[in-house]
A and B are shown apart, each in its own frame.
Chain A
């Protein structure tokens, strides 16, 4: 009973943190990117204002659409939220929750599947185009996502996300395998959250869109939900990148003295925030430094990531 209540409280805290941090991180990335490009950039809180604006708008829906159109954002949101709750943020204590790695990868496939369908639903060519591109990109991204995480998880023998850092018992990034897998994972993160060099999140140029193309027909609250979903996915993958490859400062087990727990929790939160700031800087610099790859050279980028994770696997398999 007590564990149940504790679980519920942790769940609620995490949901609240997601609701605040996911849009905030988006705002920070945009702001920082703007600064790097010599612009002022939008306000940090702009994503919140956007959400409020979307919530107040009426919905404009195409007459060509079917039930899939309205259902897709809901399914995507539910799946991404579930996946986000699986990822450990500040503590590594076991989560009474199926935080299975394969499940995580497959949960992230649900929004892609649903949004690819939604893109086709409105009968316009832009949506279809985006769906087909998204399917092609994600087909290449999925094996790398799985393999780069597996290389870290396999030596420990557990596929549970919060168990991965514990199992590795050191800094995975410091080892060869960890470093290579981290680079591979970062490439996939860029592809998954639709950032340059794979997709340009700032463009609405009809012919080059991937993620924006699929949500072209959405408006009002549903569009807000989609953006929110996307931001949750973004923060989840970034947290995963940092917590798996640099599991520094995370709380281990909530036993011991009262003050010690509070102290370690404080440290965990501070390191977490530091990690997020690094992530923001990393993304913003990558996006300013690179331009968008040609559509079919995505294969090269993701193939590169795949070979890197295979190399990491080789190091792991030989036990060095």
Chain B
């Protein structure tokens, strides 16, 4: 019988993977944002569970901090910002949702193979690494398959989530200051990107990158 926080970690792993799959299905920005919110909360819970498992109090702090920032502040921020841009449904999906789903499944398989060769198939960390790697790849695929600038931003956020998740799962977290640094970095990144997006919209009347194919002086 697994210990209950093992179960929690295991569940949260499955849960964040689920949110990863959901992101590629949804055409609509609001849903993607919702997925990000859920995923961040899932990661925060997993972090807390790992902290409990290892008795590392700084992981609790990280869990609370990242839960609040990435599960509440950042999505709200981006949501308001999307409303101001007046973005509607993401209509131009290069790949249909069903096909993207199967591609995401394939990425999971690839992640499994990579993580097996990386950690060795006997290690218990295989699955955790696999999930994190799969989320990273799915985030990247998400960026590739969409043309909206906001989606690109979301893709980066997903990848960041995956990276921090992998760090926590694999090495029980770096010193708190490093994690905080990463968090801060993300916040600044979003700030810069959001300013850029407004500039792009001002200049081109569109934030669809598939229309931004010619260079402007």
Question: Hey, which bits of chain A sit against chain B, CB under 8 A?
Answer: 170, 174-177, 179-180, 183, 297, 299-300, 303-304, 306-308, 310-311, 314-315, 318, 320
Contact = CB atoms under 8 A, between A and B. Distances in A.
A307 B11 contact: no
Given A314-B109, A318-B126, A318-B127, A300 B17 contact: no
A143 to B, nearest CB: 13
A304 B112 contact: no
The prevalent SS among residues of A at the interface is: helix
Interface residues of B, number: 26
A180 B18 contact: yes
A180 B11 CA distance: 9
Contacts of B112: 314, 318
B127 A303 contact: no
Given A176-B11, A300-B97, A307-B101, 9 more contacts: A170-B1, A174-B7, A174-B11, A176-B127, A177-B14, A303-B102, A314-B109, A314-B112, A318-B126
B159 to A, nearest CB: 20
A314 B98 contact: no
B109 A303 contact: no
A87 B11 CA distance: 27
Interface in B1-28: 1-2, 7, 10-11, 13-15, 17-18, 21-22, 25
13 contacts: A174-B10, A175-B7, A175-B10, A176-B11, A180-B14, A180-B18, A183-B18, A303-B25, A304-B22, A306-B101, A307-B21, A314-B109, A318-B126
Interface in B167-215: none
Contact of A303 (B1, B101, B108): B101
Contacts of A300: 25, 97-98, 101
B27 to A, nearest CB: 9
B105 A179 contact: no
Contacts of B127: 176, 315, 318, 320
Interface in B104-160: 104-105, 108-109, 112, 121, 124, 126-127
Q: Which of B1, B25, B109, B121 has the most CB of A within 10 A?
A: B25
B17 A311 contact: yes
Contacts of A183: 18
A308 B126 contact: no
B14 A179 contact: yes
Nearest to B26: A300
B104 A307 contact: yes
A176 B108 CA distance: 15
A311 B16 CA distance: 13
Nearest to A174: B7
